[in-house]
A and B are shown apart, each in its own frame.
Chain A
Amino acid sequence: MAKKTIPPMILLILGLIIAIGSTSFLGPCIHQDGSFGTCHWAGRMLLGLGGLMSVLALLAVVLPECKPGLYVGISAVAVLGMIAPGALIPLCAMDTMRCRMLMKPAMTILCGLVFLVSTICAIAEKRKKKAP
């Protein structure tokens, strides 16, 4: 039982890191005058996506029979998380800005990791169901 909850727990932790990180230590540019650019909205989107990943991962723990579908859902959210900063929502133009220097690469790596784990889990669950 404990072993089965390890992958969703990993996804839950990664989702929380994305959600918390996007508003704090991995967040977008901070302006002294209180204004913000579009990177702020990219951070907000990542907060939402990280939260969604965590909720889906938590559901995978509570509803084990729905695991394959939940893992596929997490993978899709992770892809969205990878393309959101930069491709879907533009960031600051200068590459020395915090959003380009820290937030984008960190979120790409974290979402990539989520995608990798959830895809492997989805394939494993599918194989498990196929086995007699």
Chain B
Amino acid sequence: MKEKNYILYSLLRRPVRSVSLILLTAFLSFSVFAGSVISVSLESGLKSLGARMGADIIVLPSSAESKTSFKNLLLQGTTGAFYMSGDTLERVKEVEGIEVATPQTFLASLKADCCSVKIQVIGIDPDTDFIMKPWIDESCSQELGDMEVAVGCRVTADVNETLRIYDENCRVIAKLAETGTGLDTAVYCTLSTMNRLLRAAEEKGVTHKITTEGEEMISAVYVRVKDGADIEQVNSRINGHVRKVTAVRMRSMLTGVSDTLSGVSHTITLLIGAVWILALVILLIAYSMMIHERKREFAVLRVAGASRRTMRSIILKEAALCGAAGGALGVIIAATCVFSFTKLIETKLGLPYLSPDAGRVILFALATLLISSLVSALASVWAAGKLSKTDPGIALREGG
């Protein structure tokens, strides 16, 4: 019988043993693949959020000073219902060291029943905007016009469709790329469109605790400081010179999120490490017991003329095959679970979460398969070495 056929025969002859080894390796590869994909998704989510929040300082009304507002704004891109006078923008611009300042107005989630999409409407000034515009430009070359909107990828409206917001018809001109944050469920429009929507909301009796009559309202001012200017100093100047606002440095907020994220990543890495050590020990014991159990079988093979090298090769190949099969099974189960429940994971973690692209996923899957096969083969090396040193005569006499 050829070596390859013997290996397959040996694995199929003892299905319980083979299935147990495959399941053990599947558990290993599941933890590696799922852990890696989740870690990378969290990192991508944070990077994407950092790219979207390209300002140095964000100025919000003092009424929005609660920690939840800041955290939600940054972590999930979720805006709130807080407003300040449009004059604040001019007062912020007067502060020394500012290169550009752009306003944004938020319209709180529409009061919709369960089966309508709850959306955030964000009004931007296309002339000064440097936060959303680069992102919108990726999907659309057209400028946002009156009653035209760009929608996040999770808003159920396609380009050229009409989105009805507070009974006002808005034409969708672009669907934006995914960010993995609450920004994906938002709608972006110009400030003039926003003012019309605010008026429509008020006419429908939705109170946002604002007055739109005769005065332009804004929710936040995003600031980029001049090259060489001290961001901390500019931040302090805004807080000192402009009344009833709170200026916050974006970097310090991002660092806070980054710390949370690295904590989650470390926990995942530690868990994967612990699972691997445990599984490696179990595999070592399993292979050692398996070889001990098959002592007589291998002694007969030796007597029949098989070399020590052939013996080692058979054991290593058997282990690698079990490892590859288990690895593939683990990857399939992990991919099914992680990608099917992406939204659930994202919601439960409460952090920006952006799944990696197909190329990276395939790369992770191949790496996991390779690692599973190698670890299985490695776990059997010691048992194979021990077996090759055993005298076949003694093994046959000992029985088994």
Chain A interfacial positions (CB closer than 8 Å to B): 29, 31, 35, 37-38, 92-97, 100-102, 105-106, 108-109
Contacts and interface: CB of A to CB of B under 8 A. Distances in A.
Size bin of chain B's contact surface: 10 to 19
Nearest to B345: A101
B343 A29 contact: no
B154 A97 contact: no
B154 A109 contact: no
Interface string B226-257: 00000000000000000000000000000000
Contacts of B114: 29, 31, 35, 37, 92, 94, 97
A108 to B, nearest CB: 7
Contacts of A106: 340-341
The 7 lowest CB-CB distance pairs between A and B, nearest first, are: A105-B340, A37-B115, A101-B343, A93-B117, A101-B344, A37-B114, A93-B156
Contacts of A92: 114-115
A38 B115 contact: yes
Contact of A95 (B115, B154, B337, B340): B154
Given A101-B347, A105-B341, A93 B336 contact: no
A104 to B, nearest CB: 9
Interface in B112-145: 113-118
Contacts of B113: 35, 37
Contacts of A96: 343, 347
A105 B343 CA distance: 10
Most A Cβ at <10 Å: residue of B113, B116, B343: B343
Contacts of A31: 114
B77 to A, nearest CB: 13
Contacts of A109: 336-337, 340
Interface in B145-188: 154, 156, 185
30 contacts: A29-B114, A31-B114, A35-B113, A35-B114, A37-B113, A37-B114, A37-B115, A92-B114, A93-B115, A93-B116, A93-B117, A93-B156, A94-B117, A94-B185, A95-B343, A96-B343, A96-B347, A100-B343, A101-B341, A101-B343, A101-B344, A101-B347, A102-B344, A105-B340, A105-B341, A105-B344, A106-B341, A108-B340, A109-B336, A109-B337
A101 B65 CA distance: 32
A29 B343 CA distance: 15
A10 B154 CA distance: 37
Nearest to A31: B114
Given A94-B118, A102-B341, 7 more contacts: A92-B115, A93-B156, A95-B343, A101-B341, A101-B344, A106-B340, A109-B336
Contacts of B117: 93-94
Contacts of B340: 105-106, 108-109
Identify whether the interface residues of B are mostly helix, strand, loop, or mixed: loop
B227 to A, nearest CB: 40
Interface of B: 113-118, 154, 156, 185, 336-337, 340-341, 343-344, 347
B397 to A, nearest CB: 37
A108 B340 CA distance: 9
A90 to B, nearest CB: 8
A38 B114 CA distance: 10
Nearest to A37: B115
A102 B102 CA distance: 39
A3 to B, nearest CB: 12
A100 B180 CA distance: 17
B15 to A, nearest CB: 12
B117 to A, nearest CB: 5
A96 B353 CA distance: 13
A37 B117 CA distance: 13
Contacts of B116: 93
A94 B152 CA distance: 13
A94 B341 CA distance: 15
B318 to A, nearest CB: 25
A121 B115 CA distance: 40
B161 to A, nearest CB: 14
Nearest to A98: B344
Nearest to B119: A94
A112 to B, nearest CB: 8
A96 B340 CA distance: 13
Nearest to A113: B336
Contacts of A101: 341, 343-344, 347
Nearest to B118: A94
Contacts of A94: 114, 117-118, 185
